[in-house]
Structure 1
Amino acid sequence: MSITPITELNSRARDIFRVVVESYLGTGAPVGSRTISKLAGLNLSPASIRNVMQDLEELGLLAAPHTSAGRMPTESGLRLFVDGMMQTAEPSAEDRRAIEARLSDGGPIEEALSAATLALSGLSACAGIVMVPKREPVMRQFGFVPLSRNQALAVLVGEDGSVENRVVDLPDNVTPSALNEAANYMSARLSGLTLGEARLRLRAELDADRAAINGAARELVERGIAIWSSDMENRPVLIVRGQANLIDETASADLERVRQLLDELEGKQEISRLLESALAGTATKIFIGSENKLFSLSGSSVIAAPYRGGDGRVLGVVGVIGPTRLNYARVIPMVDFTAQTLSRLMR
């Protein structure tokens, strides 16, 4: 269904439409003509308002869920409001402080991403989401630092300067010279490759008995590659926090919608595919209800914005998922500010 351009609505229709949408977003309840007539500045009778609301319903912008229960915006109406009528501003100083406080603790980038979802979830009363595209680092150098007789710290330095550590179990009776031999072999033979490429080269050389490495050092190399590969494959590409926020005081009247939404959040791969469309964007994207078939049953909205690295390249997406009855004017700039804050941390 095509959306009616805002220019086709006269001033009276726009005023009444705005009141209906803003009241619905604030209360979640349909709005009646008598309620609208009591608002200062309109100077319209309930009968005149009902006629305009009927016209808006015929245009597909409003709907009446029950007989004489007032009107509420349709998904097309919400899209028209968000794109053509809503006024957004910078996040409040309080919201900015809350987001920055969550993201300023330092630590691994995974912790910052998780903190971003918690901040958005708490401030928006929705579920916070962040997507981290899967990527394999290109290796520059490997090292093994002994921790005990049975364990060592496997250190991977990427070509982008990133450093990551993982604990690896050692074969029996590994000597310091074997640790050095394994690290030197990996750095010399596997530098410039991704983990997947390194795994293939290592297997080919071992199978052909061309690897200039033997015994415990060879096993160390295999274990090092295995633990890094497993870590990258299992690293979450989508972090979701605050699902409990979706079960609010209105949930009892719409339990099926909430159940469907929670099921959708469990299917993270589907949501990841949805968010991938925001990776190519330069600004915040808004998906309302059945505009995306993933949420056609639960009637949910997604607000998502890309965050970037120091080179300006998009690294991932951060946002919220909630009911279509969102405070869009507040949440959209909040998501955008969180994406900007994450981008600053990535530099």
Structure 2
Amino acid sequence: MASPPLTELTDRARDIFRLVVEGYLASGQPVGSKALAGSRTEGGGGLNLSPASIRSVLAELEQRGLLAAPHTSAGRMPTESGLRLFVDAMMQVAEPTAEERAAIEQRLGEPGPIEQALEETSALLSDLSGAAGMVMVPGREPRLAQVSLTALDAQRVLAVLVSEDGQVENRILALPAEAVGTSLEQASNFLTARARGRTLAEAAKAVAEEISSERNALDEASRDLVARGIATWTEDTAKRPVLIVRGQAKLLDDAALTDIERVRSLLDDLESKESLASLLERARKAEATRIFIGSENRLFSLSGSSVIAAPYRDREGRVVGVLGVIGPTRLNYARVVPMVDFTARQLGKRIGKLEQS
């Protein structure tokens, strides 16, 4: 259900709606008319309304789909549509505190490999938000040093790829019948010469261009084997995002334990790394922090959870991954959104320093 425009609400309804949302996000509990009667408006004054008048406005907001009344409480809480309206049109984002900035800068300023920085980032986001922190690591594209092809039997070839940093990966490729007499040594030398010092994507492009122009001494069967080998590696790398999630236990707070099924659904969702990575790809393509509330994303539609995610970049300004926070829909969006954004920028600086070293 789409949120009604903010302009459709009276000033009185706007004040009461904001107070209900802020009260709910702060406590995790529905907000009643008696509590609202003593609240202060954004301008600093009181509502100056009787509980009966407040209940009338609450009923109107509920009719518009912005608030809901749980069966066990006389208070109101925002719906997902209400939270979306609040986040998009009413929320006043606060900058991270000096203590939060110092903690982020210190943790991400410590020396060490990029893998350590990514682990630290996920744990840091969990610590600061009180929810689960996550970092999607980009598929690594190491520079290649050597490629070799060795016959295992009449129908299979072992392809070995060695990167400049010493990583070794193996693939078994089917050998087409017409390639039985293929010189694997010749194909290996061809691949190594075109791949050395390049990433897989760069090597694939160079090999494809040379094969298509026939500026090589390979026979047709060898060319097919070379092209298929490179394509297999390139496809595997593109499909292999690594996701680091830390702090799942923090989702089991007192409020969450009253709804065990929702928590169980959320923990199951977090185990679905491939689906979660797919969701984060949407944030990867954004210019700024994205907020996904409850059923706005299919992955968390059952658990009613929210995701706040931001892309992080390398020193060239290219998006290389996504980080963020997963938690209940009552996350403190005004605090967590700028914190996630600041952390993304600090991680980008860390990556830039590692690339220079």
Alignment correspondent of 2:341: 336
Alignment correspondent of 2:210: none
Alignment correspondent of 2:20: 20
Alignment correspondent of 2:153: none
> Matched residues in 1 for 2:162 and 2:108: separation?
26
2:89 counterpart of 1:84: yes
How far is the alpha carbon of 1:37 from its aligned partner? 0.6
Alignment correspondent of 1:108: 113
How far is the alpha carbon of 1:194 from its aligned partner? 4.3
2:326 counterpart of 1:321: yes
Report the identity percentage: 63
Q: Which amino acid aligns with 1:100?
A: E
> Matched residues in 2 for 1:62 and 1:209: separation?
66
Alignment correspondent of 1:179: none
Report the CA distance shift for 1:138/1:12 in structure 2 as closer, same or farther (over 3 A).
Answer: same
Secondary structure, counterpart of 2:3 in structure 1: coil
> Matched residues in 2 for 1:192 and 1:165: separation?
13
Secondary structure, counterpart of 1:107 in structure 2: coil
Alignment correspondent of 1:240: 245
Secondary structure, counterpart of 1:346 in structure 2: helix
How far is the alpha carbon of 1:44 from its aligned partner? 0.7
Alignment correspondent of 1:44: 49
Alignment correspondent of 1:222: none
Q: Is the 8 A contact 2:107 2:120 kept in 1?
A: yes
How far is the alpha carbon of 1:191 from its aligned partner? 1.7
Superposed, which structure 2 residues align to 1:178-189 within 5 Å?
188=193
Alignment correspondent of 1:216: none
Secondary structure, counterpart of 1:271 in structure 2: helix
Alignment correspondent of 1:156: 163
> Matched residues in 2 for 1:337 and 1:186: separation?
43
Select which of 276, 286, 299 maps to 1:271: 276
State which drifts further: 105-114 or 52-61: 105-114
Can you list the C-alpha shifts for 1:24-81, whole angstroms capped at 9, x where unaligned? 0011111110111122411110000000000000000000011652100000000111
> Matched residues in 1 for 2:52 and 2:90: separation?
25
How far is the alpha carbon of 1:185 from its aligned partner? 9.2
State which drifts further: 241-250 or 126-135: 126-135
Superposed, which structure 2 residues align to 1:233-312 within 5 Å?
237-312=242-317
Number of residue pairs matched by the alignment: 298
Alignment correspondent of 1:151: none
**Runs of 5+ in structure 1 lacking a partner?**
144-153, 158-163, 169-183, 211-224
Alignment correspondent of 1:35: 35
Q: Which amino acid aligns with 1:35?
A: A
2:45 counterpart of 1:63: no
How far is the alpha carbon of 1:336 from its aligned partner? 0.2
Can you list the C-alpha shifts for 1:180-209, whole angstroms capped at 9, x where unaligned? xxxx998645325545968xx8xxx8xx89
Report the CA distance shift for 1:295/1:25 in structure 2 as closer, same or farther (over 3 A).
Answer: same
How far is the alpha carbon of 1:235 from its aligned partner? 6.7
In the superposition, the TM-score normalised over structure 1's length comes to 0.77
How far is the alpha carbon of 1:136 from its aligned partner? 3.1
Report the CA distance shift for 1:79/1:233 in structure 2 as closer, same or farther (over 3 A).
Answer: closer
**Runs of 5+ in structure 2 lacking a partner?**
41-45, 148-160, 170-188, 208-217, 224-229, 353-357
Q: Is the 8 A contact 2:142 2:163 kept in 1?
A: no
> Matched residues in 2 for 1:54 and 1:334: separation?
35
Q: Which amino acid aligns with 2:16?
A: I
Q: Which amino acid aligns with 1:132?
A: V
Q: Which amino acid aligns with 1:22?
A: E
> Matched residues in 1 for 2:124 and 2:73: separation?
40
